[in-house]
């Protein structure tokens, strides 16, 4: 059997490496982590992989595979790439139904026979750099993955160096370097193809397409080991997202969800962390992670000192048109549905296209949201019955007052969809946080790390303010230099 390379002594795979995949997974590791795959999992191009009997979620992962040339032990990240002799394509198949007992080792779910197709050809690395590579994957002829090695969180040289700290990478060993976003579930009869190339190099060298056909296995697992098990969380993760799973269900390719995942990561611990933290501080933490367009611009609270924190429930208006308003403006329309179904702890976010010259919330609807326990209302339009709404306890962020009724500029269109409010994209379940500085949208998968960082920064800023109030100059204190940082850490250790 030919894999395009000699049979490797070790096959080492990286858990997460592409930022696109990290965003999809909701995890951003500081360092790479790994697992081993057995030699018996190797397969050549043109082979068949069996989805084990009793399982549902066999997923592909197109990857760039590194083949070690010169042995590496205690090498530096700068020197790591020089130990790679060849690059080829790999498909890191896994069965989500078998993950439960593995604890990250992936022995059962990724170690099956044929679960590591590799090849069909290998490309020598002479004259090519670690950032020159592209990986693409097709399922039944449709392109589903397309990413390049210059985006990696952990470059190839770093992977080689890190692994070489623990054991010798020997000639012929293979490192699977992670998969980008787009990995999903395949079914019996599907054909998966992976290709790695260097499109901008002379001659655009390519591995050719690594082809694998999925078949159904018929050998049942025995009672002497952990049986396949799957839940809705696994289904969503395997398919890539809840939306992709829903599309697969609609196409007849996936099992519908049985139990919905927890709606919000806003736990009591996270709420306590964010208590007293300014939106501006959270904004800085999000900016570090590349999120700079998450502000719902132009909105202000209806009470001085109002704050807001909750998960988003969305309502979308479209531009007024008489025939559409006649069809969608009356009865139990989308606006009424949104206010009548908002749940405790949710923030109703209204897309009004940034138009302040019409009311999108009135006293009756605001009162209904308050009675249902909503955490607040945010609209990039106007508020009718503004004085009456101010009498309620519920925080309402808007562009201000306007006396018009529904039907002047808007048609209430749909609920629980992605909206654009005040220039920010908001999805149902996003975290909405607001104070006197404005309202910000926090992607749920970033909430915990952002909350912890922002809470720590808020505490540090408060201590700095105390030093300034005591007469210290800001130079070197804000931001803190090494001397002031040491003083702050000592004060924290003393509890002062």
DSSP characters over 213-266: EEEE---PPPTTSPPP---HHHHHHHHSSHHHHHHHHHTT-SPPPSSPPPS---
Q: What gap in Å lies between CA 199 and CA 126, rounded to an integer?
A: 15
Distance of alpha carbon 207 from alpha carbon 194, whole angstroms: 9
303: CB partners within 8 A, 6+ apart: 390, 395
Peptide bond between residue 479 and the one before it cis (omega within 30 degrees of 0):
yes
Rounded to whole angstroms, the Cα distance separating 289 from 442 reads 11
- Secondary structure of residue 115 in the 3-state scheme: coil
What 3-state DSSP class applies to 463?
Answer: helix
Non-local (6+) Cβ contacts of 466 within 8 A are none
Note the pLDDT of residue 494.
76
Q: What's the pLDDT score for residue 261?
A: 45
How far apart (Å, rounded) are the C-alpha atoms in residues 160 and 169?
Answer: 8
Q: Could you tell me which residues are beta bridge partners of residue 90?
A: 63, 118
CA distance 108 to 94: 9
The predicted pLDDT at position 315 comes to 95
Task: Indicate the angle between helix axes 447-469 and 482-494, nearest 10 degrees.
Answer: 100
CA distance 416 to 113: 43
Task: Report residue 230: phi and psi, to 5°.
Answer: -145, 145
pLDDT value for 229: 86
Output the CA torsion 288→294→296→300 (10° steps).
Answer: -20
pLDDT tens digits in sequence order for the chain, 496 residues long: 566 778 899 999 999 999 999 887 777 888 999 999 999 999 999 999 999 999 999 999 999 999 999 999 999 999 999 999 999 999 999 999 998 777 678 999 999 999 999 999 999 999 999 999 999 999 999 999 999 999 999 999 999 999 999 999 999 999 999 999 999 999 999 999 999 999 999 999 999 999 999 999 999 888 888 888 888 878 888 998 878 888 888 888 988 877 554 556 899 899 999 998 999 999 999 999 999 999 999 999 999 899 999 999 999 999 999 888 888 888 778 888 899 889 899 999 999 999 998 888 989 999 999 999 999 999 999 999 999 999 999 999 999 999 887 778 889 999 999 999 999 999 999 999 999 999 999 999 999 999 999 998 888 888 888 888 989 888 887 888 888 888 877 887 776 5
pLDDT at residue 263, rounded to an integer:
52
Which pLDDT value is given to residue 175?
Answer: 97
The residues that bridge with 214 in the sheet, in sequence order, are 49
Q: What is residue 165's predicted lDDT score, i.e. its pLDDT?
A: 97
Q: What domains can be seen in the chain, in order of their start residue? A: 11-230 (3.90.850.10), 292-442 (3.50.30.40)
Going by their DSSP bridges, the two strands 431-435 and 308-319 should be labelled as antiparallel
Q: Cα(first)–Cα(last) distance of the chain, in Å?
A: 68
The answer to whether 339 touches 395, Cβ cutoff 8 Å, is no
Omega before 495 within 30 of 0, i.e. cis: no
Q: Which helix (H) or strand (E) holds 277?
A: none
Neighbouring CB atoms inside 10 A of 484's CB total 18
State how far the Cα of 443 lies from the Cα of 423, in Å rounded to an integer: 15
The pLDDT of residue 1 = 59
Helix (H) or strand (E) segment spanning residue 66? strand 62-68
Say what the pLDDT of residue 441 is: 96
Phi, psi of 290 (to 5 degrees): 90, 5
Question: What's the confidence (pLDDT) of residue 57?
Answer: 95
DSSP 8-state secondary structure symbol assigned to residue 171: T
DSSP state of 18: -
What is the DSSP code string of 400-451?
A: -B--PPTTSSEEEEEESS-EEETTEEE-TT-EEEEETTEEEEE-GGGHHHHH
Distance CA 404, CA 264 (A): 35
């Amino acid at each position: 059997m030919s894999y395009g390379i000699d049979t490797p002594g070790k096959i080492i795979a990286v858990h997460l490496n592409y930022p696109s995949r990290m965003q999809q997974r909701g995890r951003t590791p500081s360092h790479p982590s790994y697992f081993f795959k057995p030699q018996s999992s190797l397969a050549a191009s043109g082979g068949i992989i069996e989805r084990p009997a009793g399982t549902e979620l066999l997923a592909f992962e197109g990857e760039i595979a590194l083949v070690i040339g010169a042995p590496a032990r205690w090498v530096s990240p700068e020197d790591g790439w020089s130990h790679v002799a060849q690059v080829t394509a790999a498909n890191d198949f896994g069965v989500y139904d078998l993950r439960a007992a593995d604890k990250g080792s992936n022995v059962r779910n990724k170690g099956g026979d044929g679960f590591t197709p590799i090849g069909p050809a290998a490309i020598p690395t002479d004259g090519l750099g670690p950032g020159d590579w592209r990986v693409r994957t097709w399922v039944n002829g449709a392109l589903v993955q397309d990413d390049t090695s210059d985006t990696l969180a952990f470059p190839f040289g770093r992977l080689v160096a890190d692994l070489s700290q623990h054991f010798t990478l020997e000639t012929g060993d293979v490192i699977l370097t992670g998969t980008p976003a787009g990995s999903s579930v395949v079914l019996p009869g599907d054909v998966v193809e992976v290709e790695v190339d260097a499109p901008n190099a002379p001659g655009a060298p390519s591995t050719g397409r690594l082809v694998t056909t999925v078949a159904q296995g018929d050998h049942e697992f025995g009672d002497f080991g952990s049986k396949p098990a799957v839940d809705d969380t696994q289904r969503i993760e395997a398919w890539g997202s809840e939306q992709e799973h829903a599309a697969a269900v609609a196409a007849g390719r996936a099992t519908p969800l049985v139990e919905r995942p927890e709606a919000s990561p806003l736990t009591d611990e996270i709420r306590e962390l964010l208590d007293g933290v300014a939106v501006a501080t959270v904004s800085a933490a999000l900016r570090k992670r590349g999120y700079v367009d998450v502000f719902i611009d132009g909105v202000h609270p209806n009470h001085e000192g109002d704050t807001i924190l909750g998960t988003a429930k969305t309502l979308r208006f479209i531009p007024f048109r008489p025939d559409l308003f006649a069809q969608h403006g009356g009865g139990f329309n989308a606006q009424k549905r949104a206010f009548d179904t908002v749940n405790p702890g949710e923030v109703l976010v209204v897309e009004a296209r940034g138009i302040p010259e019409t009311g999108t919330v009135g006293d009756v609807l605001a009162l209904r949201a308050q009675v249902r326990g909503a955490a607040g209302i945010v609209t990039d339009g106007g508020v009718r019955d503004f004085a009456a709404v101010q009498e309620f306890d519920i925080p309402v962020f808007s562009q201000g007052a306007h006396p018009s009724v529904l039907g002047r500029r808007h048609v209430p269109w749909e609920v629980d969809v992605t909206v654009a409010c005040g220039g920010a994209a908001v999805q149902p379940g996003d975290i909405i946080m607001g104070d006197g500085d404005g309202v910000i949208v926090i992607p749920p998968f970033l909430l915990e790390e952002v909350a912890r960082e922002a809470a720590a920064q808020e505490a540090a800023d408060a201590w700095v303010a105390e030093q300034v109030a005591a007469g210290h100059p800001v130079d070197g204190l804000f931001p803190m230099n090494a001397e002031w940082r040491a003083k702050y850490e000592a004060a924290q250790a003393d509890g002062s």
